[in-house]
Structure 1
Amino acid sequence: MTTDAPTAAFPTLEDWQHWTLVMGLAQQMLLESWADSWKAGTPAPGLKMPQAPDPMALMSAGADAWSKGLEAWGQMLGSMAEAGLAKDKRFAAPEWRDHPVYDTIRQSYLAISDQLMKSVDQADGLDEEARQRLRFVTKGVIDAMSPSNFALTNPEVLKATLESRGENLLNGLRHMLDDMKAGQLSQVPKGAYEVGRNLATTPGKVVHETPLYQLIHYAPTTKSVLETPLVVFPPWINRYYILDLTPEKSFVRWCVDNGISLFMVSWKSADETLRDITLDDYVLRGQVDAIDTVRDLLGVEAVHTIGYCVAGTTLAATLALLAARGEAAKVASATYFTAQVDFSEAGDLKLFLGDETMALLGQLSAETGLIDGRVMAATFNQLRGRDLVWNYVVNNYLLGKEPPPFDLLHWNGDVTNLPAGWHRDYLETLYKANKLVEAGGIVVDGTPIDLSRIETPLYIQAGREDHIAPPQSVWKIMDHVPGDKRFVLAGSGHIAGVVNPPSAGKYQHWINEGDPKTLEQFVEGATEVKGSWWPDWLAWLRRQAPAEVPATGARVPGKGKRKAIEDAPGRYVRTR
């Protein structure tokens, strides 16, 4: 009798010796990691020595779990129909379709996933907020339970294990232990990037420093520059160099090459000296201080400003404060990158504002008064768990590979610590209570904040696929701030929608020269323009203040009344 099914050769003595060695090395790595963590006085999560188990109980529990698991899979495989081919990179390997077992597993998983998501949408008795939260949690569970995430149900992992004779699993264990020691998942190879070497390399000088931030002045590359300089406020929850990545992607370099006198705020990662700072500090001793410093340095009446994400929210408070004090003329224009002032439709981050989450943040910061930046990074990664978590679990831990180099993901993992009190106040007052859009809802330095007093010209950019600051949320600035405003909808999301240089020729943006009253009206009457929105913004900026001056004297970093403290990118961006 013959069969087409392949037969496995019986393991030789050499095979048994090799796999025994692999298991021994894995055990040794685990024990060494456990011992090192205990020596340091901080046992790594998951490496604490458990109580001595009952072997029979373990065997019984394991057998029961396997039995139930196989029974469940049998029911699912027998009852689920063909789910259809899905364009899903998790199942890109040909075995997922060519091998009948893996094909059935894939089809069943996709069918079950689809049914679970439909059940959330069809569930009765839920308000929209509860449904949104359930939808997010369900999607997270579905992504976590993908058969691609487990060695025994991923054909690529099994193939790699056989071909490398287990080396992939040893390498993966080594990667996992290194990540546990560092406290965060690796998304780029160690040493691939370094700030000042191949990131944040645009020439400039730190010309002003406070306990809260450093101010970088970039060197001009044109003979003349716009007379009105530009001050950029990045989010304090991230490093500023998202706007100065590699030279090809750098918004900073592009601005300088287009004749803009550019200044960048580099926030200090919070330490215990900053644990008690508040909104007043970020507005007065941050944004207002930087604006006044640049005005004084260059001898100009006004500056242009940019506020990215949360710094844009704060910039709205700053503009309202200046307007209330009769000092609105200090700012010639304000540009918002994916920034929100009205949080009534703030997107998926609102799902992390429950009482349990707030209590956990309180526990994590009780001793230091700080939120470890790795907590924030993990939160943002969860918003795109399939791409930013499970993709790397499979690649790094199961396949044992190094992740590919990607400058944006290096920045994503270069975390900053936050003052816990201010962070909680931001979430409670703005995200949950939505106080910024109430006249007098918040007070800065004794002055009630009223956004309706802002008459500064605004350029408002939103990302069509932004899951952190959804376009419908960003649009709401249009409803609360009077005066001249230009809204532009960019392709892609919170980062790629902003960091999209014209030379890349990627994505598109939409403009509407009419007078739309809602985002829906804007989209309905919009014109699609291929490529980056940066040139549209530059043309708008030049219209606000077209005058130019020679790029000499104080326009050169360190040549004016404020001498250079150190070269860009400065110390603050390198501190954890």
Structure 2
Amino acid sequence: MADGTETASAIPTLEDWQHWTYVMGRAQQMLMESWADGLPKGNAWPASPPAWGAFPPAFGVGSPATADPAALFTAGAEAWAKGLETWGKMMGLDTEAKEGAKDRRFAAPEWQESPVFDTIRKTYLALADKMLGTVEEIDGLDAESRQKARFAVRSFVDAMSPSNFALTNPQVLRRTMETRGENLLKGLANMLDDIAAGQLTQTKAGVFEVGKNLAMTPGKVVKETPLYQLIQYTPVTDKVLETPLVIFPPWINRFYILDLTPEKSFVRWCVEQGITLFMVSWKSADESIADTHLDDYVLKGQLDAIDTVRDLLGVESAHVIGYCVAGTTLAATLGYLHAKKQQAKVKSATFLTAQVDFSLAGDLKLFTGDETMALLDELTRDKGYLDGRYMAATFNLLRGRDLIWNYVVNNYLLGDEPAPFDLLHWNGDTTNLPGSWHRDYLETLYKGNKLVLSGEITVAGTPIDIDMVETPSYIQAGREDHIAPPESVWKIMDHFAGPKRFVLAGSGHIAGVVNPPAAQKYQYWVSTEDPETLEQFVAGAEEHKGSWWPDWLEWLKSQNPKTVEAKGARMPGEGKLKAIEDAPGRYVRER
């Protein structure tokens, strides 16, 4: 039996009631202020403001006049546990089946130590497994319908995790009692700030700045067009490879994913290996380039940059890299050059997590339906371009557990600031897209898969056939890539006619690419055989520890090992193209 002290401490004091009343009142005020700030300026106030509760439902906090907060929290968790346990018994779930699996959502010891939360955790995981398994057992579904159902169920299951709600997350309950609700106020402030910004915060604000501690590799912008800036990087070796390298990053992202902090920078590493390096920095779309299409990205973008570099250095050809969607358009560029008998302009092509055949393109294909196209039309009707935050939200949905709900718990429920992380800063640094081209990309390539159909795609009226491309190609895929699945990237091997080297890297779409040798992380696989399928490649591939970058460098040098002195036009601004400004340039800073 509890002693008198414990009994007395369980009864809320006047001070407790006053404090929790303040917390609820402050939350109400914050919501009212946010609502008022969102009203059109100059409009009269409605007759009455909306009747909010003190907190959104996810916070799970009731009125302070109803009960002791600690007792309310405990009762809510117990109710959840009993409800889930009942459902589990009705469905005959094995709640111990997932006991050995690691899940970061339930890493806190309270999830195992408390019988209530242990029951919630186990039953949820068993229910999740049951629901996901049911999708695979449904008869009569075609592959596309099953993929849609699988994605929808997984998204629902992730959203309904008990870790996402205050009353069923023991870490949040403990923090709430320790801070007397201040975490919920801070979390509410974080949430309202994100709503105002239209974007989920994934990294601490103000830590990273392009040109200050990101994109720091020395160089100059030597050309600027309405579509792109061309950056030439300053050599650090006495001699450099004769054949220069031009990198085309995806136009849906900022280029500096390849030039993050110095220790992670692919750009800096290339320069240190004696490569004369050029980077295209695409302009974030506005009304001035809203009508940009495939012809522009091929002719006024990639081909123009290649010709510019060839002319500047007086060389016959250049190596090129296309990352993600820029690799898709690079395939079109190579097809165009071969159709025009100008393929000698490109010495070699490297494709980083790029797709040309979209028959196995993964979950992104789910966003090509009629509803998506109608929404794109609506979002781009006024200005002609798509706000990049919509694309960022789409990519976050593909990994909702890690890129959405993780931050809901950390930022909104626990009231913490996210940790500083350069990659996530880049991830949130969105780029606007030409609306009609983005729609056409989804319709023609993702949905229609026309790039692999001879003559179905034209550039400046010239039909292209990527099966005729003979340019030596290095094709890199990420084993855990959820944006460009490795089986989709592999399809390049089925089309290009020239010599090809396929490399499967550990990790995903970003970390599988941005993996410097010094980090000694992950691994990559290559094959000395000539496999016809990805399955055959995996079965016979040789694993190598660490980064694939040195393997690529050796391959690149084999295309033309000749070197020249790093002087004259090899120095930014000292050739016929004068320096416009320092790298990283102004386009990468435009919003």
Question: 1:122 maps to which residue?
Answer: 137
| Residue of 377, 382, 389 corresponding to 1:367 | 382
CA distance in 1, matches of 2:257, 2:242: 26
Displacement, 1:453? Answer: 2.1
| Residue of 482, 487, 494 corresponding to 1:472 | 487
Conserved in 2, the CA contact under 8 Å of 1:34 and 1:48? no
Question: 1:383 maps to which residue?
Answer: 398
The answer to whether residue 32 in structure 2 is matched with residue 31 in structure 1 is yes
Pairing 1:508-519 to 2, within 5 Å after superposition: 508-519=523-534
Larger mean CA deviation between 350-359 and 306-315 belongs to 350-359
Question: 1:351 maps to which residue?
Answer: 366
Displacement, 1:72? Answer: 4.7
Displacement, 1:81? Answer: 3.7
Specify the code of the residue in structure 2 equivalent to 1:82: T
**Structure 1 unaligned blocks of 5 or more:** 54-61
Question: 2:19 maps to which residue?
Answer: 18
Question: 2:95 maps to which residue?
Answer: 82
| Residue of 158, 163, 166 corresponding to 2:181 | 166
Pairing 1:56-71 to 2, within 5 Å after superposition: none
CA distance in 2, matches of 1:349, 1:363: 20
Specify the code of the residue in structure 1 equivalent to 2:532: K
CA distance in 2, matches of 1:48, 1:355: 39
CA distance in 2, matches of 1:69, 1:486: 54
Larger mean CA deviation between 385-394 and 355-364 belongs to 355-364
Question: 1:195 maps to which residue?
Answer: 210
CA distance in 1, matches of 2:306, 2:467: 21
Specify the code of the residue in structure 1 equivalent to 2:396: N
Displacement, 1:180? Answer: 0.5
Displacement, 1:509? Answer: 0.3
SS in 2 for 1:141: helix
Question: 1:295 maps to which residue?
Answer: 310
Larger mean CA deviation between 322-331 and 262-271 belongs to 322-331
| Residue of 89, 99, 108 corresponding to 1:93 | 108
CA distance in 1, matches of 2:568, 2:415: 55
CA distance in 2, matches of 1:175, 1:491: 35
The answer to whether residue 570 in structure 2 is matched with residue 569 in structure 1 is no
Specify the code of the residue in structure 2 equivalent to 1:425: D
User: Measured at CA, do residues 40 and 191 of structure 1 come closer, stay the same or move farther in structure 2, by a change above 3 Å?
Assistant: farther
Conserved in 2, the CA contact under 8 Å of 1:77 and 1:104? no
CA deviations over 1:394-428 (Å, ceiling 9, x no partner): 00000000000111000000000111100010011
CA distance in 1, matches of 2:84, 2:244: 64
Specify the code of the residue in structure 1 equivalent to 2:17: W
CA deviations over 1:62-88 (Å, ceiling 9, x no partner): 9xxx99989854622544442342311
Question: 1:240 maps to which residue?
Answer: 255
Question: 2:60 maps to which residue?
Answer: none
Pairing 1:52-451 to 2, within 5 Å after superposition: 72-73=83-84, 75-76=86-87, 78-79=89-90, 80-83=93-96, 84-85=98-99, 86-451=101-466
CA distance in 1, matches of 2:375, 2:155: 20
CA deviations over 1:109-132 (Å, ceiling 9, x no partner): 011000001110001121111001
Displacement, 1:545? Answer: 0.8
Displacement, 1:288? Answer: 0.4
Specify the code of the residue in structure 2 equivalent to 1:207: V
Identical residues among aligned pairs (%)? 69
| Residue of 535, 543, 549 corresponding to 1:528 | 543
Larger mean CA deviation between 67-76 and 179-188 belongs to 67-76
Specify the code of the residue in structure 1 equivalent to 2:37: D
Displacement, 1:10? Answer: 1.2
Conserved in 1, the CA contact under 8 Å of 2:81 and 2:117? no
CA distance in 2, matches of 1:559, 1:210: 20
**Structure 2 unaligned blocks of 5 or more:** 53-62, 64-75
Conserved in 2, the CA contact under 8 Å of 1:161 and 1:169? yes
CA distance in 2, matches of 1:49, 1:346: 50
Question: 2:66 maps to which residue?
Answer: none
Conserved in 2, the CA contact under 8 Å of 1:169 and 1:399? yes
Displacement, 1:218? Answer: 0.4
User: Measured at CA, do residues 245 and 49 of structure 1 come closer, stay the same or move farther in structure 2, by a change above 3 Å?
Assistant: farther
Displacement, 1:9? Answer: 2.1
Displacement, 1:35? Answer: 1.6
Question: 1:59 maps to which residue?
Answer: none
Specify the code of the residue in structure 2 equivalent to 1:399: L
CA distance in 1, matches of 2:166, 2:480: 33
CA distance in 2, matches of 1:471, 1:2: 61
Conserved in 1, the CA contact under 8 Å of 2:317 and 2:346? yes
Displacement, 1:266? Answer: 0.3
Give me the CA root mean square deviation.
2.4
Conserved in 1, the CA contact under 8 Å of 2:384 and 2:435? yes
SS in 2 for 1:475: helix
CA distance in 1, matches of 2:586, 2:297: 19
Question: 1:58 maps to which residue?
Answer: none
Specify the code of the residue in structure 2 equivalent to 1:523: V
CA distance in 1, matches of 2:36, 2:380: 27
CA distance in 1, matches of 2:321, 2:291: 26
Conserved in 1, the CA contact under 8 Å of 2:80 and 2:168? no
Specify the code of the residue in structure 1 equivalent to 2:371: E
CA distance in 1, matches of 2:258, 2:213: 14
Q: TM-score, normalised by structure 1?
A: 0.94
